[in-house]
Structure 1
Amino acid sequence: MRTKQRFIGVMSGTSMDGVDTALVDIDADAIQFIASHEYPMPDSLKQRLLNVCIGQQTNLAEIGELDHLLGHLFADAVNALLQHANCKADDVTAIGNHGQTVYHRPNGSAPFTMQLGDANIIATKTGIDTVADFRRKDMALGGQGAPLVPAFHQSIFQPTNSSVVVLNIGGIANISILRPNQAVIGYDTGPGNMLMDAWCDKHLGKKFDKNAQFAMQGELNQALLTQLLEEPYLALNAPKSTGRELFNLPWLEAILSQHSLSAPDVQRTLCEYTAMTIANEVKRYQVGETPELLVCGGGARNPLIMSRLADLLSEWAVMPTDKKGVDSDNMEAMAFAWLAQRRMANLPSNLPEVTGASKPASLGVLYFAEQ
C-alpha cells in the first residue's frame, strides 16, 4: 500500500515578489523536498494588487478580474514547476494554494480575510485537485486565521532542552516558538521586508534592497526609530496578525512628514525597525542554554538584518533554516503543500493556541480537477 503522496505548495506572500512553488513527497508526517520554482508576477498586476491592499478605492469588477488573473498566474506557476521537475500532473495528489492576500482584518465587529486567486481555474488548468481558502475556517472558529505555518514548523523542528524559534521574514515577519514541554506560540511580530521594499522601490526603482546596499549607505536615526516603535500593534498580546493594510507606504510617509531625512537614512532605520521588533519578541521566549533562531524567507538573505539579529540576540544561535536542512526560500510553499495533505486526510492543521480559534480544524476548501 502506497502511503507516500506528492503535493505542491503555492505561495505568494505580502512582498508580492513572485510566486513560489514547491514539490514535496509526504509520508505520514515526514516531508521530503523534491523541487521548487519561482514564477514572476507581472509588474502591472502587482501594482493593481498594491492599490487594493493599501486601501485605494476599488470595485467588484476589479476584485473579480484580479481573482481571475491570479488564478491563471498560479496555475501557470504550477505547470512551470511540473515541467521543471519533469513531473506529471497525475502523480500529484493535490495543490495547496495560499492565494494572494489583499486584506486581512481579523478583529472588529466583522472580522474577515481575503485571498484572491480562483482555485477553480488552478484545478482546471493544471488537472490537479486544489485546496485553497485556508484561513477563513479558522476565523469562523474565532481565530485570527494566521499564522498557519507554526503547525508545520512544529512537525519538522523539535526543540530539545532549549527554545527553537522559527522566524519567517517575508513582507511581514512572523515567529513560531517551540519550547520543550510547552504549547506552540506563533504570531506576526510586525513588518519584515515590506516597508524596506516599498521605500527601495520608490527611491531606486528596485523591488528590494539587494544585500542591504541601500541601507548600508545610511545612518540609523533614533528619533524616527523611536516613533516607529510606538505603533500600537507592537504592544498587542498574541494571538495577533497583521499585513499590508497597516504597514504600507502611506503609513510610513505620514510618519516621515515629521522628519527630514535622507533616503538611505530612512532605509537603514527601517532595517533596524524590522530587526528590533523581531528581537524584542524572540528574547521573551528564551529557555535553556542553547536557544536557536532559525530564519527563512527573503529576509534571511539580508546580511544587515541577519547581523543585527545576531547582535540583538547575543545569547541565541541565529542561522538560516538551510543549516537545518530546509531551504529558507522554500519554507512557506512547503508549508502549504503540507496543509493540503492535512486537508486531504481530514486532519487538523491549525493550532488554536496560536490563532485563538475555539478548536482544531482541518483547514481549506477542496476544488476538484475535471477528469
Structure 2
Amino acid sequence: MRVIGLMSGTSIDAIDAVGADIQLRDGTIHVEVAGQLSRAYPESLRAELIAALPPGRVELATVCRLDTAIGQEFAAVADAAAREIFGGTADLVASHGQTVYHWVSGGKAYGTLQLGQPAWIAERTGLPVVSDFRSRDIAAGGQGAPLVALFDLLWLAGRPGRSAALNIGGIANATVTGAHPVAFDTGPGNALIDAAVESATGGAEHFDRDGERAARGTVDERLLKTLLTEGYYRASPPKTTGKELFNRAYLERVLPDYPLSTDDIVATMTALTSHTVADALAPFEPDEVIVSGGGTRNPALLGMLGERLGKATLCTSDELGLPSSAKEAAAFAVLGFLTVHGLAGSHAECTGATRATVLGSITPGAARLTLPEAPDAPPRRLEVVSRARG
C-alpha cells in the first residue's frame, strides 16, 4: 500500500510529507520510504497560527479560518507528494494535522485539537484520508501522545540492550524499550530555543540555525537552575505537554531577572533541553539513544546532550536507515496503514490508556471506500528501508 504521511510538529515551521510503500507480511511491517518533501507554511498563515496558540486568545471564526487554510496547505503538500514521489497517485493519506491545543490538567489529558480539515485533502487528491489520530487514545484514558511509541517499539524490537528513541521537535518525546516500555514528553525540545531567538530578533529569525548562537553563547547557571524548578520535570510518565506550557510567554516571565545577551539566553535554553532530556532518560538507563527530528540539525544541542547521557551511545535515526527528518511523518503513515487494516495504533502501557485502540477517523476519497481485510494478528516487528533523498 502506497501511503503518504503528513506531519507538522510543534515548531510550526513546515509540513513534512513522506511517501512510503507499506506491507504487512509474517508479522512484520515492511516500510520502504520512497521519498520525502517539506513545504514551509506561507509566512502570513504561520504568523496567524502562532498568534492563535497559547497564551493567545482567538475567536471561533479564526479557528474555522485556520482549519480551512491549514487543510488546504496539507492538501497541496499531499498532492505534490503523490506526484513527485509516487508518479501521480497513491492509496492513502495519513494526516496528523497541526496541533493547536493539547488539554492536560493535573497530569490527565482531556482533549486535543489538531487543525487541517481532511476534506480538503480528500477532495484535492481523491484519496481516502486518516486523520485525528490522538482523540481516540485520550477517550480510552490515555495521554494521546507520544503516538510514535508503537512505531518505535516495533522498529527497535530485537536490538540488544535497552534503546531509547528520542524525537526533538518543538517538544521532545522519548520511547524506551524493555519489559515494561515507557513513552512520554520530556519537556521543551526546540520550543524555548525558538522562542528566545524570535523574541530577541523581533520575529526576523525563527530558530538557532545550526546551533550557532548556542555555540557562541555561555550557559547561565543561575537561569538554568531556575528553569529546572518547573514541576513538569518531576512528574512520572506517562505524561505529555506542549506549547500550552512551554511558550514565549513562559520564557518572558523569567528573563527580565536575567540581563543576558541573546546568545547566552539561547545557550541556556539549549542546555535546558539537554538537561531535561538526559535527566528524564537516566532512570531507565538506556544503552543507546536514537535521535530524530529538527534537533538533529543543531550540533550544539547534540553535543550538550551527548555529554550528559553518560554511557549511553548517541546516534541519529539516519544511522539506522530512517532519515531523521522523515521519522514522524513515516510513523503516521504506518499508523494510517494500521487504521485502515483495523489494527490498534497505540500502545496502552506507553500512553496510559485502558486499552490499545484503532486510531483516527477516515474521510473517503473519490472512489468507493473499500478497506483491506484485517490481519489475523497484530504486527510484532517493523523494518525500514529508505531510498528517500532530502
Task: Give the TM-score normalised by structure 1.
Answer: 0.94
- Paired residues, what number? 360
Q: Aligned residue for 2:113? A: 114
SS in 1 for 2:99: strand
Question: Counterpart of 1:176 in 2: which secondary structure?
Answer: strand
| Structure 2 residue matching 1:46: 3-state secondary structure | helix
- 213-222 vs 197-206, greater mean Cα deviation: 197-206
SS of the equivalent of 1:240 reads coil
Residue 295 (1) aligns with residue 295 (2): no
User: Is residue 348 of structure 2 the alignment partner of residue 349 of structure 1?
Assistant: no
Task: Give the deviation of 1:161 after TM superposition.
Answer: 3.5
**SS at structure 1 position matched to 2:257:** coil
Contact 1:12–1:18 (8 Å) recurs in 2? yes
| Residues 1:284 and 2:283 are matched in the alignment | yes
Matching residue of 1:88: 88
Structure 1 residue 85 displacement after superposition = 1.7
The answer to whether the aligner puts 1:153 opposite 2:146 as a matched pair is no
Paired residue for 2:372?
none
Give the aligned partner of residue 14 of structure 2: 18
The 1-side partners of 2:137 and 2:105 are apart by 13
Q: Does 1:184 find its partner at 2:181? A: yes
Q: Secondary structure at the match of 1:257?
A: helix
Of 317, 320, 326, 1:321 maps to 317
Sort the Cα spacing of 1:212 and 1:249 in 2 relative to 1 into closer, same or farther, 3 A.
same
Q: CA–CA distance in 1 between the matches of 2:111 and 2:173? A: 19
CA contact (8 A) 1:159 1:178 kept: no
Instruction: Return 334-343 or 258-267, whichever deviates more.
Output: 258-267
Name the CA distance, whole Å, in 2 between partners of 1:208 and 1:295: 19
Deviation track 1:177-230 (CA, whole Å, cap 9, x = no partner) reads 012xx1321000000011111211232422211111111221110110001001
TM-superposed deviation, 1:159: 4.5
C-alpha separation in 2, matches of 1:203 and 1:159: 46
Tell me the distance in 1 between the aligned counterparts of 2:20 and 2:181. 24
The corresponding residue for 2:377 is none
SS of 2:41's equivalent in the other structure is coil
* Distance apart, 1:126 and its partner CA: 1.1
Aligned-partner residue type, residue 63 of structure 1? V
Aligned equivalents of 1:10, 1:311: Cα separation in 2: 33
| 2:199–2:248 CA contact under 8 A, matched in 1 | no
| 1:102 is aligned to 2:124 | no
Moved more, 237-246 or 77-86: 77-86
Q: Distance in 1 between matches of 2:322 and 2:355?
A: 29
Cα pair 1:106 1:139 within 8 Å, conserved: no
Q: From the superposition, tell whether residues 163 and 35 of structure 1 become closer, same or farther in structure 2 (CA, over 3 Å).
A: same
Residue correspondence of structure 1 range 1-371 to structure 2 within 5 A: 5-28=1-24, 29-89=29-89, 92-107=90-105, 111-179=110-178, 182-204=179-201, 205-286=204-285, 291-371=287-367
2:71 aligned counterpart, secondary structure? helix
Shift of the alpha carbon at 1:110?
8.2
SS in 2 for 1:105: strand
Mean CA deviation greater in 96-105 or 254-263: 254-263
The amino acid of 2:121's aligned partner reads I
CA distance in 2, matches of 1:233, 1:313: 20
2: CA distance, partners of 1:244 / 1:161:
35
Taking only the aligned residue pairs, the percentage that are identical comes to 35
Classify the secondary structure of the residue corresponding to 1:244. Answer: coil
Tell me, in whole angstroms, the C-alpha distance in 1 between the residues paired with 2:109 and 2:296. 35
Sort the Cα spacing of 1:231 and 1:332 in 2 relative to 1 into closer, same or farther, 3 A. same
Could you say if the C-alpha distance between residues 370 and 83 of structure 1 is closer, same or farther in structure 2, counting changes exceeding 3 Å? closer
- Tell me how far 1:86 sits from its aligned partner: 4.5
In the aligned structure 2, how far is the partner of 1:8 from the partner of 1:41? 18
Q: Which amino acid in structure 1 is aligned with residue 40 of structure 2? A: P
Superimposed CA distance per residue, residues 21-46 of structure 1 (whole angstroms, 9 cap, x where no aligned partner): 00001111111110000011011111
- Amino acid in the other structure paired with 1:37: L
Contact 2:6–2:329 (Cα < 8 Å) also in 1: yes
Unaligned runs of 5+ in 1: none
Read off the aligned partner of 1:353 and give its amino acid letter. Answer: E
Alpha-carbon shift at residue 87 of structure 1 (Å): 2.2
What is residue 385 of structure 2 aligned with on the other side? none
CA contact (8 A) 1:162 1:286 kept: no
CA offsets, 1:233-278, max 9 Å, x none? 1111111101111100111010112222111111000000000000
Counterparts of 2:143 and 2:79, CA distance in 1 = 32
Amino acid at match of 1:225: L
Q: CA deviation digits over 1:334-355, x for unaligned, max 9? A: 0010000000001011111111
User: TM-score normalised to the size of structure 2?
Assistant: 0.90
Structure 2 CA distance, aligned partners of 1:82 and 1:136?
A: 27
- The CA deviation at 1:88 is 2.3
1:106, 1:145 within 8 Å by CA — same for their partners in 2? no
Name the CA shift for 1:361/1:355 in 2 (closer, same or farther; >3 Å): same
CA contact (8 A) 1:158 1:164 kept: no
1:356 CA drift (Å): 0.9
What CA RMSD, in Å, does the superposition of the two structures yield over aligned residues? 1.3
Structure 2 gaps of 5+ residues are 368-390
